[in-house]
């Protein structure tokens, strides 16, 4: 296989530091996958990431994509979503935001930060505290999805 090729860049250093901080080994594959994930505006599936990153890191395998995504999720650097469709989607875990999910196409989009924040701010922390103690459930985060259809699409009656 390939000897270690390390592109010099501020961002790479930042990623290395991030990984080190979480006790993750920093491999070319992981670095590239995380960089791709973090730069994604939407929410790629494992397969999409695979094809995207494959061009940059040779010999990347889909298994590694899954392994890496799982590692990233486990240490809190990424999040896994399972929208309406059967395929899991991922994003780099920057901060909590709201998603829209189209019932027609299955597409998942972000709600812009400002709006997301306003929506999430509606839920008072005390209520969450109360839920935690009532349900004996430690809440790590609240996930909000707006289910519906993008304008121009109709739900077929049936």
Partner DNA sequence: GTACGTGCAAAATGTTTGCATCATT
Partner DNA sequence: AATGATGCAAACATTTTGCACGTAC
Q: Which chain residues interact with DNA by CB under 7 A?
A: 1-4, 16, 19-20, 24-30, 45-47, 57, 59-64, 66-68, 70-71, 86-88, 158
Among 17, 20, 47, 148, binds a copy of itself (CB under 8 A): 148
- The reply to whether 126 sits near a copy of itself by the rule CB under 8 A is no
Among 18, 26, 88, 92, binds a copy of itself (CB under 8 A): 88
Whichever of 23 and 124 has its CB closer to DNA, that residue is: 23
Please pick, from the candidates 1, 55, 125, 158, the single residue that binds a copy of itself as defined by CB under 8 A: 158
Residue 30 CB coordination number (10 Å)? 22
Range 6-14, long-range pairs (CB < 8 A, 24+ positions): 11/35
Draw the binding track, 100-119, toward a copy of itself (x: CB under 8 A; -: no contact).
xxxx-----x-xx--x--xx
* CA neighbor of 53 nearest in space, from 64, 124, 146: 64
> In terms of C-beta density within 10 A (0-12 exposed, 13-18 middle, 19 or more buried), how is residue 25 classed?
exposed
Pairing label, strands 88-92, 108-110 = unpaired
| Dihedral Cα 39, 40, 44, 49, nearest 10 deg | -40
Q: Which residues bind a copy of itself (CB under 8 A)?
A: 23, 71, 74-75, 80, 82-86, 88, 100-103, 109, 111-112, 115, 118-119, 122-124, 127-128, 130-132, 134-152, 155-158
């Amino acid at each position: 296989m390939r000897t270690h090729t390390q592109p010099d860049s501020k961002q790479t250093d930042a990623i290395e530091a991030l990984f080190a901080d979480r006790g993750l080994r920093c491999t070319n594959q992981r670095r590239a996958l995380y960089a791709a994930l973090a730069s994604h505006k939407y929410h790629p599936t494992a397969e999409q990431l695979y094809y995207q990153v494959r061009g940059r890191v040779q010999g990347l395998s889909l298994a590694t994509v899954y392994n890496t995504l799982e590692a990233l999720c486990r240490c809190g650097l990424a999040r896994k979503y399972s929208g309406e469709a059967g395929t899991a989607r991922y994003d780099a875990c920057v901060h909590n935001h709201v998603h829209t999910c189209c019932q027609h196409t299955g597409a998942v989009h972000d709600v812009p930060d400002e709006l997301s924040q306003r929506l999430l701010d509606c839920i008072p922390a005390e209520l969450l505290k109360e839920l935690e103690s009532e349900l004996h459930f430690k809440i790590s985060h609240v996930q909000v999805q707006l289910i519906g259809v993008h304008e121009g699409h109709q739900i077929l009656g049936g």
